[in-house]
């Protein structure tokens, strides 16, 4: 991060030092003698820092938030008297509003818990988006000091969104003693001690994070009697740089072990039965859905792979050239093909025993459809009959409503057939 003197054209570095992989300027403090930045400068956690431009002194003005990544965008009022940051607290996006220059907390009458994003000041109003299982990412405004928050738009739907189920934040132990965070959503009529058919949904990325936002697919599954678990296995963002890099390169299968541990925990806790758990995911989550049925074949009853990677060699060879270096930094270099083969499920396709659904867009520039075709051919060569869903007019994911309806209808039928009937 640099400061530009617009009169002289001189640049001055205001970053915090070596070791940071992320620096985002927020703005000047009153008087313009200090600057606020969000950075992972210390311990790989994205925190708010204040740097004095005269002395170079660096301090953390909100030390009580040290344990949590701050979301990337903070808001500074035009008069520089108010600052709003959003802390990623185990997936929940929780705003903190403070006065400047004291950093004294201003009470914020937000009753709903979920994910706050897009914070901005509009004069004396704070404008933001809020999403949770019952709120589909709507815009709100709060005039600082008022007792109530004003919705700027209303959701137009015949659905009773109040009937949607809020997830519960849980953790479960994995192979190396770490606790893996996850969101669990159960049907309203679930009975303790009575196992349910369960779907474990793996997010993409792998740098993504499951967060408690509005999700129509989760709510559909829950309304139809399924339990849903959404784990944030190692490699997820939102928990600091160390956790984010625990799956890099040859450590790839450690994240798979985290995914398998989720299924074991469901069985051990009485939420599900072995063989009635489905693995489901898109992109990197598609890789996870294939990999976990290899890691724990006794626990899973089926898997759904959506635009997923199964062969890291062919993926890196065929993905868009503009992103190859970025993906090699995560998965490993094509110069180390032996390692890539070792983490690629395609080389263990003869071990897959459960029914699979494979869905892909034929025009996918990120994870080319060759990934899906390899897996399908490998299963068919063994006499298995995977359910295949190819869309000639889609890419990395399914954008067109008609295609999404086809996909979700088939996915729902597939999961019912193999887990609930």
Exposure of 281 in the CB half-sphere (CA atoms within 13 A): 32
Starting at the edge strand that comes first in sequence, how are the strands of the sheet with 47-52 ordered? 23-28, 34-39, 47-52, 58-59
As a whole number, the mean pLDDT across the chain is 93
> Could you tell me which residue, 121 or 5, shows the higher pLDDT?
121
Model confidence at 157: pLDDT above 80? no
Distance CA 109, CA 112 (A): 9
> Could you tell me which residue, 102 or 145, shows the higher pLDDT?
102
> Could you tell me which residue, 256 or 191, shows the higher pLDDT?
256
360, 371 Cβ separation under 8 angstroms: yes
CATH class of 165-420: alpha beta
97, 103 Cβ separation under 8 angstroms: no
What is the model's pLDDT at position 365? Answer: 92
Instruction: Please give the DSSP secondary-structure letter assigned to residue 332.
Output: -
- Mapping DSSP to helix (H, G, I), strand (E, B) and coil, where does residue 349 land? helix
Model confidence at 72: pLDDT above 80? no
**pLDDT (average), residues 234-253:** 93
- Rounded to an integer, what is the distance from CA 10 to the centroid of its chain? 40
What is the model's pLDDT at position 12? Answer: 87
User: What percentage of the chain exceeds 90 in pLDDT?
Assistant: 79
230, 140 Cβ separation under 8 angstroms: no
The CB-based long-range contact list for 347-353 (8 Å cut-off, 24+ gap) reads 347/311, 348/294, 349/310, 349/375, 349/378, 349/379, 349/382, 350/378, 350/382, 351/294, 351/297, 352/290, 352/293, 352/294, 352/297, 352/379, 352/384, 353/293, 353/297
Q: Which of 55-64, 179-188, 194-203, 368-377 has the lowest mean pLDDT?
A: 55-64
Q: Which neighbouring-strand residues pair with 227? A: 198
Beta strands in 156-254 (DSSP E): 168-173, 179-185, 198-202, 227-231
Q: Hey, how many other C-beta atoms are within 10 angstroms of the C-beta on 148?
A: 8
What is the model's pLDDT at position 221? Answer: 98
Distance CA 39, CA 55 (A): 19
299, 267 Cβ separation under 8 angstroms: yes
What is the model's pLDDT at position 174? Answer: 98
The pTM (predicted TM-score) of the whole model is: 0.93
Model confidence at 96: pLDDT above 90? yes
What is the model's pLDDT at position 199? Answer: 98
CATH class of 2-151: mainly beta
Distance CA 376, CA 186 (A): 32
Model confidence at 417: pLDDT above 90? yes
> Could you tell me which residue, 84 or 111, shows the higher pLDDT?
84
**pLDDT (average), residues 222-235:** 97
Exposure of 40 in the CB half-sphere (CA atoms within 13 A): 19
- Mapping DSSP to helix (H, G, I), strand (E, B) and coil, where does residue 409 land? helix
What is the model's pLDDT at position 161? Answer: 86
Nearest to 83 by CA among 3, 17, 25, 146: 25
Q: Which neighbouring-strand residues pair with 305? A: 281, 358
What is the model's pLDDT at position 41? Answer: 86
Model confidence at 66: pLDDT above 80? yes
What is the model's pLDDT at position 272? Answer: 97
Distance CA 211, CA 355 (A): 29
pLDDT band at 404 (very low <50, low <70, confident <90, very high): very high
Instruction: Please give the DSSP secondary-structure letter assigned to residue 105.
Output: B
Domain residue ranges of the chain, discontinuous segments joined by +: 2-151, 165-420
Q: What are phi and psi of 407, to 5 degrees?
A: -65, -50
pLDDT band at 18 (very low <50, low <70, confident <90, very high): confident
What is the model's pLDDT at position 111? Answer: 86
| CA-to-CA dists, residue 6 to 3, 10, 100, angstroms | 9, 8, 26
Model confidence at 317: pLDDT above 80? yes
183, 167 Cβ separation under 8 angstroms: yes
Model confidence at 410: pLDDT above 90? yes
pLDDT band at 5 (very low <50, low <70, confident <90, very high): confident
Distance CA 59, CA 81 (A): 19
Angle at 348 between CA 346 and CA 354, to 5 degrees: 95
| CA-to-CA dists, residue 208 to 85, 232, 333, 335, angstroms | 20, 8, 21, 26
pLDDT tens readout for residues 348-361: 999 999 999 999 99
pLDDT band at 321 (very low <50, low <70, confident <90, very high): confident
pLDDT tens readout for residues 322-369: 888 889 888 988 889 999 999 999 999 999 999 999 999 999 999 999
């Amino acid at each position: 991060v640099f400061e530009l003197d617009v009169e002289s054209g001189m640049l001055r570095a205001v970053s915090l030092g070596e070791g940071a992989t992320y620096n985002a300027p927020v703005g000047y403090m009153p008087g313009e003698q200090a600057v606020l930045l969000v950075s992972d400068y210390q311990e790989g956690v994205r925190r708010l820092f204040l740097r004095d431009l005269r002395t170079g002194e660096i301090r953390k003005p909100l030390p009580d938030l040290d344990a949590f990544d701050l979301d990337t965008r903070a808001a500074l009022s035009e008069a520089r008297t108010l600052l709003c940051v959003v802390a990623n607290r185990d997936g929940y996006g929780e705003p903190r509003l403070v006065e400047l220059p004291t950093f004294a907390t201003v009470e914020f009458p937000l009753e709903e818990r979920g994910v706050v994003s897009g914070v901005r000041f509009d004069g004396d109003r704070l404008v933001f988006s809020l999403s949770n299982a019952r709120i589909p990412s709507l815009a709100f405004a709060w005039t600082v000091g008022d007792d109530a928050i004003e919705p700027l738009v209303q959701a137009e739907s015949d659905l009773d969104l109040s009937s949607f189920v809020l997830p519960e934040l849980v953790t479960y132990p994995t192979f190396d003693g770490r606790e893996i965070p996850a969101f669990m959503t159960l049907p309203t009529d679930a009975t303790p001690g009575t196992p349910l058919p369960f779907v474990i949904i793996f997010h993409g990325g792998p740098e993504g994070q499951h967060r408690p936002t509005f999700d129509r697919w989760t709510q559909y599954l829950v309304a139809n009697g399924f339990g849903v678990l959404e784990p944030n296995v190692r490699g997820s963002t939102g928990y600091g740089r160390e956790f984010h890099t625990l799956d890099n390169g040859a450590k790839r299968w450690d994240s798979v072990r985290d995914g398998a541990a989720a299924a074991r925990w469901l069985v051990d806790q009485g939420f599900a039965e072995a063989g009635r758990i489905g693995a489901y995911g898109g992109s990197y989550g598609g890789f996870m859905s294939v990999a976990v049925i290899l890691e724990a074949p006794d626990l899973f009853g089926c898997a759904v792979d959506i635009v997923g990677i199964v062969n890291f060699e062919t993926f890196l060879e065929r993905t868009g050239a503009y992103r190859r270096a970025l993906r090699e930094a995560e998965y490993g270099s094509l110069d180390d093909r032996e390692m890539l083969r070792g983490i690629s499920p395609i080389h263990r396709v003869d071990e897959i025993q459960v029914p699979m659904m494979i869905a892909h867009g034929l025009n996918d520039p990120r994870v080319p459809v060759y990934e899906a075709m390899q897996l399908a051919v490998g299963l068919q060569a063994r006499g298995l009959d995977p359910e295949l869903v190819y869309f000639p007019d889609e890419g990395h994911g399914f954008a067109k409503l008609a295609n999404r309806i086809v996909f979700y209808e088939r996915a729902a039928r597939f999961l019912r057939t193999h887990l609930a009937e």
